[in-house]
């Protein structure tokens, strides 16, 4: 697992020990960041952060700040080690919280929100709804949801999808706050 572009290109990241984490592949990272295009000066939120790879990729590509939310102690330790390795502590913040609690508590707004919850636990749609209901996405912002192909985005949220790409086991859905009535 590594940073694929930006000022920290080719830097290897620490992985979460054990078999609970499922890192985003380089292929899927390329897909995501080709759609997002520019990360310069963005405020990023990485939910169910795991190793923090998505948020740190955005930082490498010029994001102003990144907030990581994770509940696992092993994942928190890994995120902190990766932040130290990339020397970006001053623009990052790590919260040990359950994502639903963080979203209820948080008052910040973000330009890009990554979420990669455990697969097939019915967390994708609940989290997407809470993000949109709580209004934490800045105008023009994007939500990047990596999820199991078996866990479909609800019809009432599908109008927010601006991009969708699937592999055999996983899917990336990128949503905006504005519904696209043409989809």
Give residue-wise pLDDT tens across range 46-61: 999 999 999 999 999 9
Q: What is the pLDDT of residue 140?
A: 92
Q: What is the pLDDT of residue 79?
A: 97
pLDDT in tens, 137-181: 999 999 999 999 999 999 999 889 999 999 888 899 999 987 654
37: left (phi over 0), alpha (psi -120 to 50) or beta: left
Confidence class for position 45, pLDDT limits 50, 70, 90 = very high
Torsion of CA 144, 88, 91, 31, to 10 degrees: -20
Q: Burial level of 182, CB count in 10 A (0-12/13-18/19+)? A: exposed
Where along the chain do its domains lie?
A: 32-176
32-176 in CATH: which number?
A: 3.40.50.150
- Over range 32-41, report the average pLDDT: 93
Mean per-residue pLDDT over the chain, rounded: 92
pLDDT in tens, 90-134: 999 999 999 999 999 999 999 999 999 998 899 999 999 999 999
Contacts of 183 (CB under 8 A, 6+ apart): 158, 159, 161
Distance between CA atoms of residues 44 and 110, nearest Å:
6
Q: What is the pLDDT of residue 181?
A: 47
Is the pLDDT at 182 greater than 80? The verdict is: no
pTM score: 0.94
Distance between CA atoms of residues 67 and 127, nearest Å:
16
Please check whether residue 24 is in contact with residue 116, taking contact to mean a CB–CB distance below 8 angstroms: yes
> Among residues of the chain, what percentage have pLDDT more than 70?
96
Least Cα distance to 94 among 77, 117, 110, 116 occurs for: 77
């Amino acid at each position: 697992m590594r940073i694929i572009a930006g000022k920290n290109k080719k830097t290897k990241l620490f992985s979460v020990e054990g078999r609970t984490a499922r890192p985003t592949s380089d292929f899927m990272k390329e897909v995501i960041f080709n759609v997002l295009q520019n990360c310069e000066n963005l405020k990023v939120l990485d939910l169910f952060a795991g190793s923090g790879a998505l948020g740190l990729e955005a930082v490498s590509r010029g994001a102003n700040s990144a907030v990581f939310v994770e509940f696992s102690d092993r994942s928190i330790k890994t995120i902190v080690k990766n932040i130290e390795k990339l020397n970006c502590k001053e623009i990052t913040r790590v919260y040990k919280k359950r994502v639903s609690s963080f979203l209820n508590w948080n008052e910040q707004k973000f330009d890009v929100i990554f979420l990669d919850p455990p697969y097939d636990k019915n967390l994708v749609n609940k989290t997407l709804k809470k993000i949109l209901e709580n209004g934490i996405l800045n105008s023009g912002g994007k939500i990047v949801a990596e999820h199991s192909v078996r866990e479909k985005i609800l019809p009432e949220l599908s109008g927010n999808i601006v991009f969708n790409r699937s592999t055999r086991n996983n899917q990336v859905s990128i949503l905006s706050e504005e519904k696209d009535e043409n989809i």
